[in-house]
Structure 1
Amino acid sequence: MRDVSEKQAADDKVAVVIVAAGRGARAGQANGPKQYQQIGGGAVIARTLDAFLTHPKIGAVVVAIHADDGALFRRAAGANADRVVAVTGGTSRQESVRLGLLALRSHAPGRVLIHDAARPFVDAELIDRTIAAIEERQGALSALPVADTLKRETAEGMIGETVSRAGLHAAQTPQGFPFWPILAAHEKAHHLGKADFTDDAAIAEWAHIPVKIVPGSPDNVKLTWARDIAMADQRLSGGARFPDIRTGNGYDVHAFEPGDHVTLCGVAIPHDRKLSGHSDADVGLHALTDALLATCGAGDIGTHFPPSDPQWKGAASRIFVEHAVKLVREGGGRIANADITLICEAPRVGPHREAMTEALSAMLRISRNRISIKATTNEKLGFVGREEGIAAIATASVVFPGDVPE
């Protein structure tokens, strides 16, 4: 078993254990365990991983998988397989969670979320709500009030009584806890041979850890049966519908002035000059902001952040990008990819590309493989070729709900 490294589990981030070791027999085995079956052109578990790995508050992610599924997991997770720690799970969900928590011991953050891989429609808002409810001695459970009338069955298969649904909730995941108390509760249950807990909130209840209920999401369904897989695939594929995909472009340029570094795509790069501008003059992020705003018809960066407004003097340009992302998401958009080309003779961009990609992944809340950062010179031509400044071109593609109108 591997422990999460210090770099992966920063104290200010929330760790996640994703449970993916089950066989999913009820969903049918013809296409493999349900977490690896295809929905909308990708594996169930790939969509689940993407929801957490693109969330800015999430740090280390541990996935508990079946001992036979190593190669299957890497194929399904793709590039994200290298961003998580995969551990061998146990024979029960409870044991898999315990093993996942143990992998976080060495450099554990204060809080941890536990989530089922077979819930691929978890969204950022639900993750935020769950994290916000975790306290030093309090867990959080995402759940929905029970809406159906409940009946208790007799041994003869008849209705014995109608059960009041007042105060009853259907539990979902993620479930969140302070790390050390929930690990201690799992360890105690393991040593006492208590293996009949169906979720982590039940273990917390047994261990006298208070758990606060937070509103779940009706979209956050657990894929259990074969028909659930088929419906999820139909939901994501949209049948014959033509998706509303919008592409926006942005362009920006800033001149050099005396200084000791330039900021490009959120990363400070040592240089003998800096870029001149009212904010931090991050030419890459300014172009990207305009590209994102273009996808929802929201004007340009100057409309939202006028250079005449003193509050933006020296501001970090990530503020502008995150504002544009917020407008896109409020309109129901999902950012599919972002492509930025930086045009300059110096400084060299290549050594900083990984850091730039990481910064953009956090700002846009998309996976790194959906981000492209390129650099080119201007072959000594024009103001860029004379090293008077830097230009940037950005393109962003966003998928909005619904068909493209006639």
Structure 2
Amino acid sequence: MGGTVVLVVAAGRGRRFGGDLPKQYHDLAGRMVLRHTLAAFATNPEIDAVRAVIHPDDRQLYDIAASGLALLEPVSGGASRQDSVRLGLESLADLAPERVLIHDAARPFIDAGTIGRVIAALASNPAALPVVPVADTLKRGLDGFVSDTISRDSLFRAQTPQGFRYTDILSAHKAVIGEELTDDSAVAERAGLAVTLVAGAEDNVKITTAADLERARRLFDGAGEIRTGSGYDVHRFGPGNGVWLCGELVPHQAGLLGHSDADVGLHALTDALLGAISAGDIGHHFPPSEPRWKGAASDQFLAHAASLVAARGGRIVNVDVTLICERPKVGPHRARMVARLAEILKIDQGRISVKATTTEGLGFTGRAEGIASQASASVWLPR
């Protein structure tokens, strides 16, 4: 397989958190904490696969948290976090990834920037640790009094995901079975691996106590942002008697050439949605080199992009598609196109715009060599 696989460690019982329900399954802005974490990785184009390590008693809860996400089958953890990580790493042997990222389930605010920096660092280092500098003054205490002030120079707070070359960290974990080290970078250090530091993020906090969860809820309550993405697509005319545009078959004296059904409107809009959530492009999710997408209906591409928005806890605010061609005329079919897009995206038609324009006889569209489309999409995402 190669590539990058993420292990989300979710087998803990959260003793410091208290209560009967492990912290990773508590509600956070309408979704389980674990759901936020899994979705952040499952929708990231730099990640090839995601596997959770869970407690065997939590399978029903996990299935709720993971519903609708493209994930590997979870595996059971061990008696300690270190055991759970090792078991998760061993379960990846058949996949043989090049890189593995190990992340705490209770860090739901992980961002794409931190993930990208960790992966980039592994190109030239065996291990990478995201950190933030210590900002507070540090004191050492003795018998209830300050005994020393500690310099905070060169001191950092460690975060996850911590990244490693797979074979290195698997060997390192096997070598320390029975010991209790503080985190996976400590395991790597014990094995003599050089761990490079990359910038973490202040928001990438770990939920450890009930008070932490309340603070996380306040961050989510009313907190969100509008993201905008754009897309563009072109297809050449070829033999046929109709073209697919925005999910509708429009009669025409030619067809459009493409690996799938060549629906320029849906392709541009798919890229716009993927761009709004920083999830790559249509070619990454549906490579034209794969035979299964030959002649495929493009509505499934757009539905997939919409599902990724939902997986991030987001919602589509509005979409706008412009079809650029001399022929066929779009006006008579516009209402049906809007209705079809609303059906695929599961949003109100009032949030959808389909327009058409010509290039006044200029360029390849003016010469009737093909059709182009540009699209924009706005989505709301929780911070």
Q: Deviations over 1:142-195 (max 9, x none)?
A: 0011111111222x23222111111010100010001100000001111xx3x2
Superposition map of 1:12-51 within 5 A = 13-30=3-20, 32-51=21-40
Count the aligned residue pairs: 311
**Which of these residues, 154, 160, 167, is aligned with residue 154 of structure 2?**
167
User: Given residue 284 of structure 1, which amino acid in structure 2 is its aligned partner?
Assistant: L
**Which of these residues, 62, 65, 85, is aligned with residue 97 of structure 1?**
85
CA contact under 8 A between 2:227 and 2:277: conserved in structure 1?
A: no
Corresponding position: 1:196 with 2:180:
yes
Superposition map of 1:310-321 within 5 A = 318=271
TM-score by length of 1: 0.65
User: Given residue 399 of structure 1, which amino acid in structure 2 is its aligned partner?
Assistant: W
Gaps of 5+ in 2: 247-252, 281-293, 317-327, 342-351, 353-376
Q: CA 1:34 to 1:49, structure 2 compared with 1: closer, same or farther past 3 Å?
A: same
Structure-1 separation of matches of 2:267 and 2:182: 46
Query: In structure 2, the residue corresponding to 1:140 is in which secondary structure?
Result: strand
CA contact under 8 A between 2:314 and 2:379: conserved in structure 1?
A: no
Corresponding position of 2:320? none
User: Given residue 28 of structure 1, which amino acid in structure 2 is its aligned partner?
Assistant: G
**Which of these residues, 164, 168, 172, is aligned with residue 177 of structure 1?**
164
Corresponding position of 2:287? none
Query: In structure 2, the residue corresponding to 1:25 is in which secondary structure?
Result: coil
CA contact under 8 A between 1:26 and 1:224: conserved in structure 2?
A: yes
CA contact under 8 A between 1:137 and 1:181: conserved in structure 2?
A: no
Shift of 1:25: 2.0
Structure-2 separation of matches of 1:249 and 1:206: 47
Superposition map of 1:141-156 within 5 A = 141-154=129-142, 156=143
Structure-1 separation of matches of 2:300 and 2:313: 11
CA contact under 8 A between 1:256 and 1:276: conserved in structure 2?
A: yes
CA contact under 8 A between 1:135 and 1:177: conserved in structure 2?
A: no
CA contact under 8 A between 1:55 and 1:365: conserved in structure 2?
A: no
Query: In structure 2, the residue corresponding to 1:173 is in which secondary structure?
Result: coil
CA contact under 8 A between 1:79 and 1:369: conserved in structure 2?
A: no
Corresponding position: 1:69 with 2:50:
no
Shift of 1:114: 0.3
Corresponding position of 1:59? 48
Corresponding position: 1:258 with 2:211:
no
**Which of these residues, 215, 231, 234, is aligned with residue 199 of structure 2?**
215
Corresponding position of 1:206? 190
Structure-2 separation of matches of 1:153 and 1:273: 81
Q: Deviations over 1:287-317 (max 9, x none)?
A: x27xxxxxxxxxxxxxxxxxxxxxxxxxxxx
User: Given residue 34 of structure 1, which amino acid in structure 2 is its aligned partner?
Assistant: K
Structure-2 separation of matches of 1:163 and 1:383: 74
CA contact under 8 A between 2:266 and 2:302: conserved in structure 1?
A: no
Query: In structure 2, the residue corresponding to 1:100 is in which secondary structure?
Result: helix
Query: In structure 1, the residue corresponding to 2:115 is in which secondary structure?
Result: helix
CA contact under 8 A between 1:251 and 1:391: conserved in structure 2?
A: no
User: Given residue 96 of structure 1, which amino acid in structure 2 is its aligned partner?
Assistant: S
User: Given residue 182 of structure 1, which amino acid in structure 2 is its aligned partner?
Assistant: I
Structure-2 separation of matches of 1:99 and 1:251: 44
Shift of 1:285: 2.3
Shift of 1:356: 6.0
**Which of these residues, 377, 380, 383, is aligned with residue 399 of structure 1?**
380
Q: CA 1:146 to 1:93, structure 2 compared with 1: closer, same or farther past 3 Å?
A: same
Structure-1 separation of matches of 2:227 and 2:121: 36
Please report the RMSD computed on the Cα atoms of aligned residues, expressed in angstroms: 4.2
Corresponding position of 1:275? 256
Superposition map of 1:220-299 within 5 A = 220-238=204-222, 256-258=237-239, 274-275=255-256, 282-286=264-268, 288=269
Structure-1 separation of matches of 2:134 and 2:234: 56
Structure-2 separation of matches of 1:57 and 1:244: 23
Superposition map of 1:351-390 within 5 A = 357-358=303-304, 360=305, 367=311
Structure-1 separation of matches of 2:228 and 2:275: 18
Corresponding position of 1:140? 128
Shift of 1:212: 0.6
Shift of 1:196: 1.3
Corresponding position of 2:73? 85
Structure-1 separation of matches of 2:244 and 2:254: 11
Q: CA 1:96 to 1:246, structure 2 compared with 1: closer, same or farther past 3 Å?
A: closer
Q: CA 1:361 to 1:85, structure 2 compared with 1: closer, same or farther past 3 Å?
A: farther
Structure-1 separation of matches of 2:210 and 2:381: 28
Structure-2 separation of matches of 1:159 and 1:68: 45
Q: Deviations over 1:302-336 (max 9, x none)?
A: xxxxxxxxxxxxxxxx4x7666666x99xxxxxxx
CA contact under 8 A between 1:138 and 1:211: conserved in structure 2?
A: yes
Determine what percentage of the aligned residue pairs are the same residue.
44
CA contact under 8 A between 1:246 and 1:397: conserved in structure 2?
A: yes
